[in-house]
Amino acid sequence: MGDHDNKVALVTGGAQGIGKGIVDVLSSEGAQICIADISEEHGIKAVTEIEKSGKKAIYIKANFENSEEPKKVIEECVSRLGNICILVNNVGIQPSTSYKNIEETSEEVWDAIINVNLKSYFLMSKYSIPFMRKNGQGAIVNIASVQGLQSQKLVPPYAASKGAVLSLTRQMSLDYIKENIRINAICPGTFNTPMVTNSISGNINENLKLFGKDIPMGRVGEPKEIGQVASFLCSEKASFISGEYIIVDGGIMAKGGWDTELQGE
Ligand SMILES: NC(=O)c1ccc[n+]([C@@H]2O[C@H](COP(=O)([O-])OP(=O)(O)OC[C@H]3O[C@@H](n4cnc5c(N)ncnc54)[C@H](O)[C@@H]3O)[C@@H](O)[C@H]2O)c1
């Protein structure tokens, strides 16, 4: 028996990185998986891997920069898998060209980040909730970031999107709490995913080790470590948790700015 037997779980951006870590854990706990992702290559690869383990999964091609996609994705998921019980809004972008102050940030970059990282979360939730209501229960997990809680220089649209995901989570949780639809968020720290490794020039493993030195636990996170928390939040084990966020960051947010002992060891 798994925690998600007979459930249908939809994960946006589930083909790679943290989304793939979430998909793998939900599938291992019995969920039927729908991956909605822009990358056909990685989406099909992820589905094939799951099918090899004897579990069910489908891939739907979607570009969440486009606000017409969420409704179509939900409709296709329900028509192919018959339901939607769990939604993980995970898709997110932080293009290397976006590291600018607001004077230098173009409207195009701002809109792209807000559309993918925030508006798709609103629309995917909007169109999933009616199916959860029919089921008499549901769970939504929104992937935010530690950057929704604390800041660094030159990430205005990304940080704004992640802060907004946290307040949207709190808001939605109250609006649907009486209908047994629980809505929570996760704030990852630094993880070993294409978003991070694609931004590294030079030796990836050496650079990931360097990033790890600024993290109290001494390493970056692995996608499965978000998957385990997402799976917990969507399960009956979290039946009294809604409107909450869980920080999964190896201790970054626990460390005070004055603590130089753990920096750059
Ligand atoms: N990796 C980290 O260190 C980190 C830290 C904090 C928060 N996060 C958040 O976690 C989530 C996942 O991040 P990740 O590091 O796994 O990202 P990633 O870039 O490694 O993977 C993202 C996935 O989303 C897909 N995708 C990208 N743009 C898309 C679009 N427009 N439409 C549909 N699919 C699209 C990609 O094909 C890929 O499968 C994001 O919301 C990100 O902001 C990541």
CATH of the domain at 70: 3.40.50.720
- Whether 245 has a pLDDT exceeding 60, the answer reads yes
Answer yes or no: are the C-beta atoms of 242 and 184 closer than 8 Å. yes
The verdict on pTM exceeding 0.95 is yes
Percentage of residues in the chain having pLDDT higher than 70: 98
Tell me the per-residue pLDDT of 85-99, one tens digit each, with 9 for 90 and over: 999 999 999 999 999
Which residue's structure tokens are 């030195």?
213
Does residue 86 lie in a domain region? Answer: yes
Tell me the per-residue pLDDT of 42-94, one tens digit each, with 9 for 90 and over: 999 999 999 999 999 999 999 999 999 999 999 999 999 999 999 999 999 99
Which residue has the CA at smallest separation from atom 26 of ligand 1? 13
Answer yes or no: are the C-beta atoms of 128 and 170 closer than 8 Å. no
DSSP class of residue 36 equals: E
Neighbours of 164 (CB within 10 A): 18
245 token code pair? 């966020």
Does residue 258 lie in a domain region? Answer: no
d(CA 137, CA 257) in angstroms, rounded, equals: 41
**Residue 259 pLDDT:** 84
**Residue 264 pLDDT:** 53
Confidence band for 262, pLDDT divided at 50, 70 and 90: low
**Residue 260 pLDDT:** 76
225 token code pair? 């470590």
Query: How far separated are the first and last CA of the chain, in Å rounded?
Result: 44
Does residue 15 lie in a domain region? Answer: yes
Does residue 105 lie in a domain region? Answer: yes
264 token code pair? 């750059």
Of residues 23, 25, 29, 24, the one with CA closest to residue 6: 29
User: Which residues form the pocket of ligand 1, taking CB atoms under 6 Å from any ligand atom?
Assistant: 13, 15-19, 37-39, 42, 62-65, 90-93, 116, 143, 145, 188, 190-191, 193-196
- Please give the residue range of the domain that contains residue 44: 8-247
Active site residues: 158
Atom of ligand 1 nearest to the CA of 197: 20
Does residue 12 lie in a domain region? Answer: yes
Confidence band for 169, pLDDT divided at 50, 70 and 90: very high
DSSP class of residue 117 equals: I
Atom of ligand 1 nearest to the CA of 221: 3
Does residue 176 lie in a domain region? Answer: yes
Q: Residue 36: which residues within 8 A CB-CB, separation 6 or more?
A: 10, 11, 12, 13, 14, 59, 60, 61, 62, 64, 69, 73, 77, 91
Does residue 38 lie in a domain region? Answer: yes
Q: How many domains does the chain have?
A: 1
